[in-house]
Structure 1
Amino acid sequence: MLDLLNDTAADVKRVSLDDVFSTIGRRSFGPVVLLAGLVTLAPIVGDVPGVPTMMGLIVLLTVGQLAFKAEHFWLPQWLLARSVSSEKMSKAVSALTKPARFIDRLLKPRLTVLVMGVSRFAVALACAITALMTPAMEFIPFSANGAALIWTFFGLALITRDGFLALLGYCLTGGLIAIIVTNLF
């Protein structure tokens, strides 16, 4: 998937969200949640103020549709038109390539009960709660990285049917909620 994104960035001056979704496909919710996590984790793109909240909005819209059993996801045109320079996209993809190859060797279907059927609603709920907290995370240093890691785990869990990653995502969600509540109150 990262190679495809890199090819997309090489063909244009700016890469829009619509370009990215056209590259990864529109039928699966997992890649969208994963992409939001990776973008937010990327040091060049994810540190820009507003990006975690925008990615949180994408996750919220996506998992909301997942919870209502939509066949494919929909995003508003104004959001799909958002873009970054192809240079920034290439740098982000380059930074993620080596870790992605390592992770690909580790993933496999296991504990599938945590990502199949009714459990997909629990994944959607955990992602939605995290996404709703992203505006507050803009003011708490590095907390958006926690949300990004959660989305990355859940996105990968949905793609590979790896319930162990979902379990890690649930644990991180609980920890992040505790951190946010402690820092805000």
Structure 2
Amino acid sequence: MKTVHNLGSLLDSLQESTSGEKVSVGAMLDAVGRRSYGPLLLLLGFVSISPLTIIPGANWLVALIILLIAGQIVFGKKHPWVPGRILRFEFPRGALMEGLRQAHPYVCQVDRFLKPRLTFLTEPPFVQLVAIVCIAAALVSFPLGLVPFGPVLPGLTVLLFGLALTARDGFVLFLAGLGLIGSCFLVIRIWERVFG
């Protein structure tokens, strides 16, 4: 398993460490390292905006895992834990590979932007605030899961938070915050159209 420190290494590890027609949640977590929160959030954010989410219920499953992982950060758990039942859930590996292919053209630009800065924002107690925002993004994903491409903004928010924690780049946290604001605004607009 490669050390995940940016988006490029995450995608490389997913491609090289998985095989077959199906890929389980556990295999994907193993590919990026289950003992570090940053790469896990980065993975979950990537999955939530990838073609994997065309599978019915996949968005809600990913949002549930984000809630679980982020909740453990809030409560100060040193290493993340995921129930075995969730780890055994499988996705078509072809959809994962398609997501990697689509992301490839943007990887270099994203990774070139990342660098350690405002690193205090990626450490306690600020990391707990990041986790709370990830929880909010996951909760917003549940109603947006009923709308085509609705969960993209909250997924992008989690991906950016994962990047920020992995690369220790506090500036990216601000960008992630903007993504969450956009997600909340979208939920409000949908609520107004449905119930207004």
Question: Of 109, 115, 120, which aligns to 2:127?
Answer: 120
The 3 A distance-change label for structure 1 pair 140 and 87 is closer
Question: Of 11, 18, 41, which aligns to 1:33?
Answer: 41
Amino acid paired to 1:61: L
Question: Of 17, 21, 26, which aligns to 2:29?
Answer: 21
State the 1:151 CA deviation.
0.6
Secondary structure at the aligned position of 1:166 is classed as helix
Kept in 1: contact 2:137–2:155 (CA 8 A): no
State the 1:37 CA deviation.
1.1
Identity %: 31
- Stretches of structure 1 lacking an aligned partner (at least 5 in a row): none
| Bigger mean CA deviation after superposition, 12-21 or 121-130 | 12-21
1:5 and 2:14 matched = yes
Q: TM-score, normalised by structure 2?
A: 0.87
Secondary structure at the aligned position of 2:91 is classed as strand
The 3 A distance-change label for structure 1 pair 140 and 91 is closer
1:87 and 2:127 matched = no
Give the ranges of 4+ consecutive aligned residues of structure 1 lying more than 4 Å apart after TM superposition.
Answer: none
The 3 A distance-change label for structure 1 pair 12 and 90 is same
| Bigger mean CA deviation after superposition, 95-104 or 117-126 | 95-104
1:169 and 2:172 matched = no
Inter-partner Cα distance in structure 1 for 2:178 and 2:115: 20
Kept in 1: contact 2:140–2:183 (CA 8 A): no
Taking only aligned residues, the RMSD between alpha carbons, in angstroms, comes to: 1.5
The 3 A distance-change label for structure 1 pair 47 and 86 is closer
Inter-partner Cα distance in structure 1 for 2:66 and 2:153: 14
Inter-partner Cα distance in structure 2 for 1:140 and 1:14: 26
Inter-partner Cα distance in structure 2 for 1:116 and 1:102: 25
Q: TM-score, normalised by structure 1?
A: 0.91
Inter-partner Cα distance in structure 1 for 2:160 and 2:117: 14
* Residue of structure 2 in register with 1:131 after alignment: 138
Inter-partner Cα distance in structure 1 for 2:158 and 2:62: 10
Kept in 1: contact 2:48–2:151 (CA 8 A): yes
Which string of whole-angstrom CA distances, capped at 9 and with x for unpartnered residues, describes residues 12-60 of structure 1?
2311111111111111111111111111111x21233322211111111
Kept in 2: contact 1:8–1:15 (CA 8 A): no
Question: Of 147, 150, 153, which aligns to 1:143?
Answer: 150
Q: How many residues align?
A: 183
Amino acid paired to 2:42: L
Kept in 2: contact 1:146–1:176 (CA 8 A): yes
Kept in 2: contact 1:39–1:45 (CA 8 A): yes
Secondary structure at the aligned position of 1:46 is classed as helix
1:105 and 2:109 matched = no
Inter-partner Cα distance in structure 1 for 2:114 and 2:151: 24
